[in-house]
Amino acid sequence: MPRYRLTIEYDGRPYHGFQAQGVLPSVQASIERAVKGFCGEDLRLQAAGRTDTGVHATGQVVHIDLAKAWKADVVRDALNAHLVPEPIAVLEAAAVDEDFHARFSAKARRYLFRILNRRAPPALDKGRVWHVKKPLDAQAMHAAAQALVGHHDFTTFRDLQCQAKSPMKTLDEARVWREGEEVRLAFSSRSFLHRQVRSMTGSLAEVGVGRWDADDLKAALEARDRRACGPVAPADGLYLVGVEY
């Protein structure tokens, strides 16, 4: 069966996460309905990652197997036509070999977290950024974040409902910088624990406002205890921005 790799963009606010949730709205279910509308096929797509409720994506990757070979541009355009008016777009479709797997072939997943750091709340970006009123020291956050890079036991930054077999993960990148009124955080790893990025971001924000310092963040990591985690950041500002193969 011809296999297609799809790069997907979506606003996560209307959905109960990416993964199909029965009758609850999900990104996966919407894309699968679009496939059904396009070519009449019932299928279960495979995705690079399962984003939580309210989390967005600019570079999610999925693959689908179709009974008939179509031009990739036709697949992209037809799915987008059937996704109207949902906030989901197929940015790119490409025919791939049958050994390609959106999840298991991935070598790295990249996330971006956007924090709007000003007194006034967001108007145009409401639901797409985390609004933090107190001034954040992005340089201090970046310096502290380097303690997270490498192979560690991330139990402190792991949701209690996480189903991963091990808390051991290798974080390849943790960067924090300021762009105007936004403080942005970038993380890259082959895989992440459930809510790991939001947990790390919330703790780094504690450094940014001056309640923690770099040693406090390192101590939280080394505690290997969920109770040592700072407040978990909301889903609003989190984006899956890319998957590397």
Q: Residue 25 domain-assigned?
A: yes
Same domain, yes or no, for 152 and 233? yes
How do beta strands 88-96 and 3-10 pair? antiparallel
Q: What is the CATH number of the domain that holds 185?
A: 3.30.70.660
Task: Please calculate the CA angle 52-79-13 and round it to the nearest 5 degrees.
Answer: 25
Active site residue 52: yes
DSSP-assigned letter for residue 190: S
- pLDDT score at 197: 98
Same domain, yes or no, for 54 and 145? no
Span 64-80, pLDDT tens digits = 999 999 999 999 999 99
Q: What is the mean pLDDT of residues 192-216?
A: 98
Select which of 52, 65, 125, 216 is catalytic: 52
Span 83-117, pLDDT tens digits = 999 999 999 999 999 999 999 999 999 999 999 99
Span 230-240, pLDDT tens digits = 999 999 999 99
Span 166-182, pLDDT tens digits = 999 999 999 999 999 99
Q: Residue 103 domain-assigned?
A: no
E-strand ranges in 139-219 read 150-153, 168-179, 182-189
What residue numbers bound the domain in which 131 lies?
108-244
Start-to-end CA span in the chain (Å): 21
Q: Residue 101 domain-assigned?
A: no
